[in-house]
Amino acid sequence: MGVNRWARLIVDPSTVRPEPGPGDTARGWWVTIALTLLAAVTRFERLRSTTDGGTPVFDEKYYALQAWEMLTNGMGIEDNPGYVVVVHPPAGKLLIAIGEALFGYSPLGWRFSAAVAGTLLVLLVIRIVRRLARSTMIGAIAGILMITDGVTLVSSRIGMLDIFLAVLVTGAFGCLIVDRDQVRARLADAAGRVAVTSFGPRLGVRWWRFAAGVLLGLSCATKWSGAYFMVCFVVLCLGFDAAARRRYGVLRPYVGTIVRDAAPAVFALIVVAIGVYLGTYAGWFASESAINRHAVGIQVDDGGFLSFVPDALRSLWFQHGEVLEVHTHLTNSAGFHHPWESKPWTWPMGLRPMLYHFSDPEQATGCGQSACVRAIMLVGTPAIWWLALPAVGWALWQSVTRRDWRYLAVLAGYGAGWLPWFAVLDRQMYYFYATAMAPFLVMLVALALGQILGRTTESDERRGTGLLVVCLYLGLVVANFVWNYPILTALPITESTWQQHLWLPSWR
């Protein structure tokens, strides 16, 4: 009786094949390249034009200077005595230092790498959505949305860390999507060995998963919030593996995933990531003067239970404790307030943006009047961001009712960038923390637009109506982006026009 029951549940693997990808490979790359070049224009155009009297604006003042120190002191470390503790890991600042090495300590220098990262982010989103939707057109739609998103545009044009975090976690997500498809192809090829054991076959070395681990390590070495994505993506990867083993007829797919896949996933996505993270501190380890480099024996007892751990690692652990102390006490209840801070429930719709720069109207020119406004405001394009809650709701519905893995996977990335912040609501937070959410929001909206567009097998009238709706929406997004462009890039506008851009009271 039991055997017959299992026999009905087992799928014949020879009858199951991986989902085919889009066949228009050449066209897909031409579309990707064209949209990426357009993104580069918007990211690099007038990149050096806005400064604070020739100096960096907003938090560029920290990162541009620390990156310059990394470049000029020859050790890849910050040594500015004005900062008792350097509050972020080195990877993002090392990337900023690349631009400064090319163009010097100048606006172009400290913003160049961010603009490159923002351009690459558009390319990644196009390719990921194209693979998710199996459609070059829907990938192109995602690219247009990404180009016209205000949050990623501003983050790509300023020398801060958030755009690097966004591109690294998005790249890691893309690697896992490719790994998912590759695993299914391997299981299809191993059809004759699926039933050899109840756990299914081993899947061999998975280089895309290792690549994801490297990118996750770099994301954590940019900002610690990359660790949220690391944990989330381990679960996501194992979920992909369990679903694949079940689809291809493995008798005990979930146990098989634990036995065959759990340890390699943890190694690739956590152990490798930690190794990469520590590798970014190579300059710190090699230095004699880095902050807290020789904490053991000074701030830390050189004996004790952990005395067998190398002093360099113990000193780094102490340094991390000091950084954590700074972040832990940066709270509203401790008296830390900022006029443009926001809480995570406002981020999905961008209800409280971030003002990075506002010039003195009496000194700004170029708008045709004696007093002009030049401002940089981090604000999501409303035509995209104001659809966040409906898009998330639709994705949840599709995940539950249709078991659509694509929506579930993108929701995982969106949630990793958003939900953990609800655990520390007293902390001082800002809208630019939501930069890592932006690519996943665009993916959700693009997938929904793909459903509106309809399948190629549907009637011409149905496809025509869907195409009309999608085109009208994209037109609205582009128009909204063009309207907001002056306040995203500090183009001179009149004071009355500035007031017209502030649509909500919370934007003031």
Q: What is the pLDDT of residues 128-165, one digit of tens each?
A: 999 999 999 999 999 999 999 999 999 999 999 999 99
Mean pLDDT, the chain, integer: 90
Judge whether residue 84 has pLDDT over 60: no
**In Å, how far are 12, 15, 194, 373 from 3, measured between CA atoms?**
15, 21, 17, 76
Mean pLDDT of the 277-304 span: 85
Q: Which three-class secondary structure string do you get for 206-222?
A: CHHHHHHHHHHHHHHCC
Evaluate whether 247 touches 16 at the Cβ level (below 8 Å): yes
Return the H-helix or E-strand segment holding 378.
Answer: strand 375-378
Judge whether residue 3 has pLDDT over 50: no
Question: Can you tell me the distance from the alpha carbon of 376 to that of 325, in angstroms, rounded to the nearest whole number?
Answer: 31
Mean pLDDT of the 459-478 span: 93
Does residue 194 or residue 172 have the better pLDDT? 172
> Token pair for residue 451?
């459903």
Judge whether residue 8 has pLDDT over 50: no
85: closest CA among 305, 318, 275? 318
Q: What is the pLDDT of residues 74-83, one digit of tens each?
A: 777 776 555 5
Question: Can you tell me the distance from the alpha carbon of 369 to that of 334, in angstroms, rounded to the nearest whole number?
Answer: 44
Q: Angle between the 405-418 and 162-189 helix axes, to the nearest 10 degrees? A: 150
Question: Can you tell me the distance from the alpha carbon of 86 to that of 284, in angstroms, rounded to the nearest whole number?
Answer: 12
Judge whether residue 5 has pLDDT over 50: no
Mean pLDDT of the 407-435 span: 96
Binning pLDDT at 50, 70 and 90, where does residue 505 land? very high
Judge whether residue 312 has pLDDT over 70: yes
| Residue keyed to tokens 């067998």 | 308
Does residue 190 or residue 431 have the better pLDDT? 431
Helix (H, G, I), strand (E, B) or coil at 357: strand
Q: What is the pLDDT of residues 338-369, one digit of tens each?
A: 999 999 999 999 999 999 999 877 677 788 88
b/e code 258-270 from CB counts within 10 Å (16+ = b): eebbeebbeebbb
315: closest CA among 288, 334, 342, 347? 288
Judge whether residue 17 has pLDDT over 70: no
- Of 207-211, 323-327, 394-398, 425-429, the one with minimum mean pLDDT is 323-327
Binning pLDDT at 50, 70 and 90, where does residue 2 land? very low
pLDDT of 4 reads: 41
151: closest CA among 344, 379, 351, 346? 379
Judge whether residue 429 has pLDDT over 70: yes
Give residue 45's identity as a one-letter amino acid code.
Answer: E
Judge whether residue 202 has pLDDT over 50: yes
80: closest CA among 62, 97, 100? 62
Mean pLDDT of the 205-232 span: 97
Write the DSSP string, 418-472: HGGGGGGTTB---GGGGGGGHHHHHHHHHHHHHHHH--TTS-HHHHHHHHHHHHH
Q: Note the maximum CA span of the chain.
A: 89
| pTM for the structure as a whole | 0.94
Give residue 90's identity as a one-letter amino acid code.
Answer: P
Mean pLDDT of the 410-432 span: 96
| Residue keyed to tokens 């990808």 | 21
pLDDT of 196 reads: 73
Judge whether residue 390 has pLDDT over 50: yes
205: closest CA among 254, 253, 267? 267
Mean pLDDT of the 393-399 span: 97
Question: Can you tell me the distance from the alpha carbon of 354 to that of 508, in angstroms, rounded to the nearest whole number?
Answer: 10
Does residue 87 or residue 416 have the better pLDDT? 416
Question: Can you tell me the distance from the alpha carbon of 59 to that of 378, in angstroms, rounded to the nearest whole number?
Answer: 13
* Three-point CA angle 223, 322, 272, nearest 5°: 45
- Of 44-58, 266-280, 281-295, 470-484, the one with minimum mean pLDDT is 281-295
